[in-house]
Structure 1
């Protein structure tokens, strides 16, 4: 019943009794009297499926011992094998390594008369499962021996819901109007980043940012950032060491040794400085380790990649002072969201490495928020990194972006400048979410996909 359970758990439905509910289709006998090692039916396999790539045949002799069957296929799955009467005999996930078959391959996996089993298609299904387990095991070892950091998440955006915290969350009802989405009904939402999900995904650290919308009144930007950052700090201090704030590499190392997920602090949108350079010192002492110079729309620092009016023709004079001050105190300059002229002004001015905390490659997806190849090379020359964003509109011009799309962008950066200059800035809880990696506990799926591409 494994396939039926998979389909039901993910929201599909079943025929409770084939002979009753499928009677008008004149069903075959799906409860054979023969031994389970005897094949009594044939399944037709869809040729562009994962199952076909495993068994390497489009018709497969099977046994049949069931009176229920999959009816409506769960979202995110597809039917990939059928009996002669149309009953679904196999389903697979579109985005995860999940495969369910209705027959019992464990009884059809014996070696042939010569003692060989390499060409037994049923045995190959178990071989695929073992290979997937080996890849997952390898991914876990990589995460254990490395420092795995997600450089951008927007979880504090949800702090106006009092139950939201950085340790562990239940699903909650949210009003899209709270985030500027009008005429949308409330939705049941699951916070994508917290300590529990970080442990599940074997992620050592995340940069949680205080995001300040460009529409925030100028006299409220500093206070809003301060409140959000202090909420993160207060929650971490009250977590009983279930999560910890860090301000340095040494503190990250110590947290990892002790099995404690780490939060670094950031600010998204330099308007949080409220035009005062001294606020850089304050935020640095508070623990902030990068500021994204702007968001969507020009601010006092620079022109944006989105909704720009070319207010400053790049960095403003105040923006130049900000970059130099950030260099002086040891705070990273983040150029995600900045316009191209602002970008090149920053590159020319900064004496320290610059980062793009959550951006993608314009060569693969022509979006104004994405970076050109020359920009990527410039970041690498500075000693900085390009952190690939898991926002579907930056990754692909399709309705659904997947882990494969994220891997394409990662590989593009690697091919341009090398593996040392690329990472992941998920943008979880700020719009980031792709099929196959929808939250922090699934970030390891990107590692698995990279292993399959030859990274090790």
Structure 2
């Protein structure tokens, strides 16, 4: 990895600002113009490992394979839809997106959760097999570091929803061997492991007895425990059970979204920090802005009514022009500043060592904020953090060092047990 301090000093000096060889304080960045600061942000993004805790590419590939009848989505080239592909990842400096092996909660009732997980894992591995010069699998921070030095994008695996365990503790070892390195314990419904933040039945009042065994076995195997999607009671049970730090792979601060249990409240964030864990901030509009859903619903309602009144289909040229103009004039989307607000808030509660990035790209649809619409735009967030006085060291912690620290602790515990 190149010396960011030396690089930033060089660039600041090139813009005629005073900078001694060791000057890397935040005042230098705040004194830059917006254009200069963005150029620095791009350099930081491209010279620092960026890990994203949650990208829903595998399920997107599954959907597009079914609708477009193609064996594998060509993410080695720029894609027309979606939020992730190789060219845009390189533009944004994304090096290690955790590929979400997403299992819809309905499979807890219909069956087939393990089979679907296997399919999505193999589909993800096929990316690295098909384009080995661009992508590589990664099963540890060392793998990511190695791939980064070779200029390749790593594809670590995280499973969203523990339903594929299917009540058999031995399946945890099976999925570890398949490459899964974190498991989000629940998703949209309570499951055999514990209660979900989106459900209201709370059948276990936290972790089930089986869920306690699952967390302990994940610790033993070296699989990170992910508490995104769990209920508050489940979270606190996990805190009591886990012997190592845990992560929230794609959650934000409930402070900005009162009543939205899917995000973490202040006490939970503090507890996560005391545990040594990391909350990886979700970029989705409803996660970062309480008013987004209401504003977005009003815009969509107007567009539906306008289309009906004027006899247009949404993809008619006249309709597309009108929709683009109307959305621009009545923009419901939050901005990149909102994501930075969540980072600020977590830092004030738990400290800089407990923040990461968990965008939920390809998972939150058309709700992403202005300035963070796809994986090419991480420099916009870095520029905003520089503007707010974050140091290079702070940004490196957010981008990869914090999640590497947790992951390595999980590995160390597993190796010792």
Q: TM-score, normalised by structure 2?
A: 0.72
Deviations 1:198-230 (A, max 9, x none): 111011110011111111245300000110011
How many Å separate the matches in 2 of 1:145 and 1:194?
Answer: 19
Deviations 1:267-324 (A, max 9, x none): 0001121111111111111111100000111011101111230111110011111100
Moved more, 161-170 or 149-158: 161-170
Deviations 1:340-368 (A, max 9, x none): 00000000000011100111111122111
3-state SS, counterpart of residue 281 of structure 2: strand
Deviations 1:385-414 (A, max 9, x none): 001101111111223221111110000001
Per residue, is there more helix in 1 or in 2?
Answer: 2
3-state SS, counterpart of residue 33 of structure 2: helix
Per residue, is there more strand in 1 or in 2?
Answer: 1
How many Å separate the matches in 2 of 1:165 and 1:275?
Answer: 35
How many residues were matched structurally? 310
3-state SS, counterpart of residue 254 of structure 2: coil
3-state SS, counterpart of residue 255 of structure 2: coil
C-alpha change, 1:241 and 1:392, in structure 2 (3 Å) is same
Moved more, 314-323 or 156-165: 156-165
Q: 1:159 touches 1:165 (CA, 8 Å); kept in 2?
A: no
1:437 matched to 2:372: yes
1:357 matched to 2:249: yes
- Once the two structures are TM-superposed, the CA of residue 249 in structure 1 deviates from its matched residue by 1.1
The equivalences for 1:20-59 within 5 A come to none
How many Å separate the matches in 2 of 1:167 and 1:380?
Answer: 37
Give the alignment partner of residue 339 of structure 2, picking from 406, 431, 456.
Answer: 406
How many Å separate the matches in 2 of 1:194 and 1:275?
Answer: 35
How many Å separate the matches in 2 of 1:213 and 1:193?
Answer: 21
How many Å separate the matches in 2 of 1:279 and 1:158?
Answer: 25
3-state SS, counterpart of residue 152 of structure 1: strand
How many Å separate the matches in 2 of 1:135 and 1:156?
Answer: 34
1:206 matched to 2:97: yes
1:288 matched to 2:223: no
1:273 matched to 2:208: no
- Once the two structures are TM-superposed, the CA of residue 252 in structure 1 deviates from its matched residue by 0.8
How many Å separate the matches in 1 of 2:261 and 2:111?
Answer: 29
Q: 1:169 touches 1:191 (CA, 8 Å); kept in 2?
A: no
3-state SS, counterpart of residue 182 of structure 2: strand
Unaligned runs of 5+ in 1: 1-129, 172-189
1:380 matched to 2:263: no
The equivalences for 1:235-254 within 5 A come to 235-254=127-146
The corresponding residue for 2:54 is 152
Q: 2:192 touches 2:208 (CA, 8 Å); kept in 1?
A: yes
C-alpha change, 1:301 and 1:416, in structure 2 (3 Å) is same
Q: 1:143 touches 1:202 (CA, 8 Å); kept in 2?
A: yes
Q: 1:218 touches 1:274 (CA, 8 Å); kept in 2?
A: no
- Once the two structures are TM-superposed, the CA of residue 373 in structure 1 deviates from its matched residue by 1.0
How many Å separate the matches in 1 of 2:126 and 2:223?
Answer: 22
CA RMSD of aligned residues (A): 1.6
3-state SS, counterpart of residue 363 of structure 1: helix
Deviations 1:54-103 (A, max 9, x none): xxxxxxxxxxxxxxxxxxxxxxxxxxxxxxxxxxxxxxxxxxxxxxxxxx
1:215 matched to 2:102: no
How many Å separate the matches in 1 of 2:152 and 2:234?
Answer: 38
Give the alignment partner of residue 358 of structure 2, picking from 422, 425, 428.
Answer: 425
The higher relative CO (CA closer than 8 Å, separation ≥ 6) is in 2
Q: 1:389 touches 1:427 (CA, 8 Å); kept in 2?
A: yes
How many Å separate the matches in 1 of 2:383 and 2:173?
Answer: 40
3-state SS, counterpart of residue 206 of structure 1: strand
1:167 matched to 2:76: yes
The corresponding residue for 1:452 is 387
Give the alignment partner of residue 370 of structure 1, picking from 237, 254, 263.
Answer: 263
- Once the two structures are TM-superposed, the CA of residue 369 in structure 1 deviates from its matched residue by 0.7
C-alpha change, 1:308 and 1:168, in structure 2 (3 Å) is farther
3-state SS, counterpart of residue 256 of structure 2: coil
- Once the two structures are TM-superposed, the CA of residue 158 in structure 1 deviates from its matched residue by 1.7
Q: 2:288 touches 2:342 (CA, 8 Å); kept in 1?
A: yes
How many Å separate the matches in 1 of 2:172 and 2:283?
Answer: 28
3-state SS, counterpart of residue 280 of structure 2: strand
The corresponding residue for 1:264 is 156
Give the alignment partner of residue 88 of structure 2, picking from 178, 197, 200.
Answer: 197
